[in-house]
Amino acid sequence: MHPSTNPLKARVQNVNFFYGTNHVVKNVSMDIEQNKITALIGPSGCGKTTLLRCFNRMHDLTPATRYEGAITLYPDNTNLIGTSVDPIEIRMRVGMVFQKPNPFPKSIFENVVYGLRVRGEKNRALLEEQAEKALRGSALWNEVKDRLGKPAYDLSGGQQQRLCIARALAVEPEILLFDEPTSALDPIATRAIEELVAEIKQRVTILIVTHNMQQAQRISDSTAFMYLGNLIEFARTEDLFHRPQNKLTADYVSGQFG
């Protein structure tokens, strides 16, 4: 945990995660600041995506998994990995955008309001209002407002990813998780998504897993470096990249790793 002056949105305390007997995340503790972007970096298989998925209980969908410790969501002190907490409710509060755009085989409009419909919302005027708000929030409204009834698959890759962001924003989550959201996109679409992520942190706290260290430097406020399931170093992004405290971190960010 690094000292923070900003209000906290979540606190990770001694979190361990197991796939069967495989201990994947090892005693990780860190503070997630509200309305900031926290990046998780590290080599493949270091546990960063596994940690990310603890926040919205994605692992519950896989058998023989186990969480230990706590991820406390403020201000109501809900332990996201507590056994008494409903994972469906957690996923409404903690949204997720995946590596590859994954629009549903529905219209653009129905993709955006999907989560609201799952919640039981039937009021058409409210659905339309939330859809427009979410599409404006993901910088897609002007491109799609005249074809909301058209299939989402008609959109380009970058547009589909922005649609997935709109779908996540529509239910007004408190935290948004991004798992390498630009790895399948070209540099221009990547830039658009990065600008968008930087802009939406005004409304939602963001956690992003990225393999792209330049991306972490460009958009995040704090960065966590993980290796072999351990949190090696967690600091302000500027400090972690330019003044790392740990030799492993220094080797990784300078490209002399492994």
In tens, the pLDDT along 209-238 reads: 999 999 999 999 999 999 999 999 999 999
The neighbour count for residue 172, using CB atoms within 10 Å, is 17
Q: Which two tokens stand for residue 62?
A: 């896989």
Match domain 8-253 to its CATH number in 3.40.30.10, 3.30.70.3270, 3.40.50.300, 3.30.470.20. 3.40.50.300
Tell me the CB-side half-sphere exposure of residue 57, using CA atoms within 13 A. 18
Tell me the CB-side half-sphere exposure of residue 35, using CA atoms within 13 A. 6
What is the helix (H) or strand (E) element at residue 220, kind and residue range?
Answer: none
Q: Calculate mean pLDDT across residues 179-192.
A: 93
pLDDT tens, residue by residue, 77-87? 999 999 999 99
Q: Is the pLDDT of residue 2 over 70?
A: no
For residues 175 and 19, give the distance between their C-alpha atoms in angstroms, rounded to a whole number: 24
Kindly report the length of the chain: 258
For residues 176 and 40, give the distance between their C-alpha atoms in angstroms, rounded to a whole number: 14
pLDDT tens, residue by residue, 102-111? 999 999 999 9
Over the range 233-245, which residues count as b (16 or more CB within 10 Å of their CB) and which as e? bbbbbeebbeebe
- The reported pTM is 0.94
Q: Is the pLDDT of residue 4 over 80?
A: no
For residues 132 and 42, give the distance between their C-alpha atoms in angstroms, rounded to a whole number: 37
